[in-house]
Chains A and B, each alone.
Chain A
Amino acid sequence: MADGRGQVRRRLGLRLWLSAGWLTLLLLAALLAPWISPKDPLAQDLFLARLPPFWMDGTEPGYWLGTDSLGRDVLSRILHGARVAMTVALVAGTLTCVIGAALGLLAGFLRGWVDMVISRLIDIWMAFPPVLFSILLIAVIGPGLGAIILAIVVIDWTRFARVVRAEAMAQGAMDYVASAQVAGRGRTGTMLVEVLPNVLPLIVVLLTLEMGIAVIVEAILSFVNLSISTDDPTWGGMIAEGRTSVHQAWWVLVFPLITLFLTVLSFSQLGEGLKDRFDPVLR
């Protein structure tokens, strides 16, 4: 394929594979964290505090990315932090997506009073400042993994509902929907068989974006110490701890930050890549 189109496809493919590769790696790390971590992520050893990463002077073997001010291994903590991050990304992302997209599809396709109710609900929801809302929510139901996931779902479903509603409305006005109805398809059938597949690429992109957002939200919440119990390592918690000692031991802050950044970037790029694969018109 020497033509321009072929080259574009190849470049998009690379993006898809890089991001999918990083996320797979992270998923494996999350699943296998207890076995592949070089050290115990909770073990403190003040004699080994603030060891630098492996290429600098004064390291100890086995502590690849150095240690924090309590002597805990940074690499092991990042690996264990991936468990929380990936759980939140997958569970909260999927739940938000399913609930938001379903409501958006119903509102956009059925219109009428269903649309009225859901749209007003979205309007009201979006008037709440999201960060305050989530902090409030967690303050009420108490910290924990379930609480974080719930907070993300409760706040972010509108993101899906709004966009999916608009797209479902646009698709619903197309002639093929009228044709399907003349051909005897009922409203539910039309919605699921005709409209949903055409909204799906959009939902997939939103889903991956949402997973990235979920990772960030979890990091923010653990940064302000509202995430799961403080002992368990999370990226946000590590960044918060690393911030206080950034002048003496920058690696405690920088490595979780890079991981977080790459993860969120990968999620959004994965979405873009999948969209190009999914969309029959672009394909």
Chain B
Amino acid sequence: MRNLSARVRGAPDRLLRDVSLSVAPGEVRGLVGESGAGKSMIGKAVLGILPRAVEVLSGEILLEGTDLLRLAPADRRRRIGATCALIPQDPLTALNPSRRIGPQMTDRLIDILGWSRTKAQDRARDLLAEVQITDPDRVLRQYPHELSGGMRQRVLIAAAFAAEPKLIVADEPTTALDVTVQKEVLRLIAGMQARHGTALLFVTHDLGVVSKVCQSLTVLYGGLVVENTTLRDFFPAPAHPYARALLAATPKYTDPGSSLVPVPQAVLDGVQAQVVAADRGWRNG
């Protein structure tokens, strides 16, 4: 993704300010930032599901060399359907309640990839087994409400990998889950990603999660990329003061008594000034 800018139609300010980031094949990139920093917006832009009110002003989204934004809507849809997938935030609303699991997993394989029904079903069964669902055949025939939250998230993970996508966007996949299930789901996603060699864009606000599954990360503030780095460089010493403060604000399990450290006002002022500076260039240009 290069220099992507977007805003709410007609609004004076941009939601995304010249965002550039890339995910290499097989790489897991964390995308962190506060609420409203534009993390999910980036994920949605990549997948072509931005809300109608949001318009892309400039920039390009390159997928294997093709700019998705240049494609006609129908082509873009097929392209994304064949190469990208989403692991959504809330497993409770991410499956259609009135359709069985099976068709929901195989739709894409049949419609976009043109597989036969039996082949798609075999594939879905294999993947459910891979995410450690004990009775895949039964689950395929079940409705979402018959499964627990954790089970549904497994189904969604399996479904995301079904078409062997090049890129998966995981939009806070563990936020809506019970803490006890979170770790398991994380391990599952990481394991699947490693086995399938998929590029993964992992949207989260939890640096702890980032440290466990990602190789690189992008820190976002106010729709502006403040740090784009590898995990190895980030955790000992983040380059940007805001990123440093964010890291310092993460509660430490080793020292539960310590009080939460808020991001200092000076740092916030600094990063805010940076946002304003970025906008000045944009308005002039």
Which A residues are within 8 Å of any B CB, using their own CB? 111-112, 174-176, 178-186, 193-194, 197-198, 200, 280-281
**Contact call A176/B94, Cβ cutoff below 8 A:** yes
Contacting pair B108 A197 (CB below 8 A): no
C-alpha spacing A178/B90, complex, angstroms: 12
Main secondary structure of the interface of B (DSSP, over half): mixed
> Is B88 among interface residues, defined by CB-CB distance under 8 A?
yes
Q: How far is the CA of A112 from the CA of B88 in the complex (A)?
A: 25
The distance in angstroms between the C-alpha atoms of A182 and B81, with both chains bound, is 6
Chain B: which residue is nearest A194 at the CB level? B96
Q: When A184-B78, A281-B145 are in contact, do A178 and B86 touch as well, CB less than 8 Å?
A: yes
Chain A proximity mask over B151-165: 1 for CB below 8 Å, otherwise 0: 000001001000000
B97 touches A181 (CB 8 A): no
Indicate if B111 sits at the interface (CB-CB under 8 A).
yes
Q: Across the interface, which residues of A come within 8 angstroms of B94, CB to CB?
A: 174-176, 178-179
B80 close to A (CB within 8 Å)? yes
Q: Are B98 and A174 in contact (CB under 8 A)?
A: no
Q: Are the C-beta atoms of A186 and B74 separated by less than 8 Å?
A: yes
Interchain CA distance A193-B108 in the complex, whole Å = 13
**What is the predominant secondary structure among interface residues of chain A facing chain B?**
helix
Contacts of B88 in A (CB 8 A): 175, 178-179
B52 in contact (CB, < 8 A): yes
Q: List 9 A-B contacts (CB under 8 A).
A: A175-B88, A176-B94, A176-B96, A179-B94, A182-B48, A182-B85, A184-B82, A185-B107, A194-B96
Chain A contacts for B123, CB-based, 8 A? none
Residues of B within 8 A of A175 (CB): 88-90, 93-94
Contact check, B80 vs A184: say whether CB atoms are below 8 A apart.
yes
Within 8 A of A (CB), among B110-166: 111-112, 143, 145, 156, 159
Q: Judging by beta carbons under 8 Å apart, are B52 and A111 in contact?
A: yes
Known: A111-B52, A182-B80, A184-B78. A198 touches B97 (CB 8 A): yes
